[in-house]
Amino acid sequence: MSALRVDPIACRAHGLCAELLPEAVDLDEWGYPLLRGSELPAGLLADARRAAAACPALALRVAAGR
C-alpha cells in the first residue's frame, strides 16, 4: 500500500491537493492540507499521483508502502 505525504515546510497552501483528491485531503482553517489517513487505498493511487504532480510547491508526494 502507498501513503500520501506532505512537506509542511514546502507547502504554500494553494489547496489544489484538496480539489484534486477530496477523498484523502482536507484543508485546515488557513488552507493547509490535512491528510485523512496514513495509508492510501489502491483505488486512489492514480488520483494521488496526479495531485502530487500538480502541486505548485511540489510539497505533496506519494510514498511507497512498507
| Count of other CB atoms within 10 angstroms of residue 9 | 7
Domain range for 54: 3-63
Distance between CA 58 and CA 61 in Å, rounded? Answer: 8
Residue 11 pLDDT > 90: yes
Per residue in 16-65, pLDDT (tens digit) is 999 999 999 999 999 999 999 889 999 999 999 999 999 999 999 999 86
How many domains, in total, are found in the chain? Answer: 1
Q: What CATH number is attached to the domain comprising 21?
A: 3.30.70.20
pLDDT at res. 64 = 87
pLDDT at res. 1 = 80
Distance between CA 45 and CA 56 in Å, rounded? Answer: 19
pLDDT at res. 25 = 97
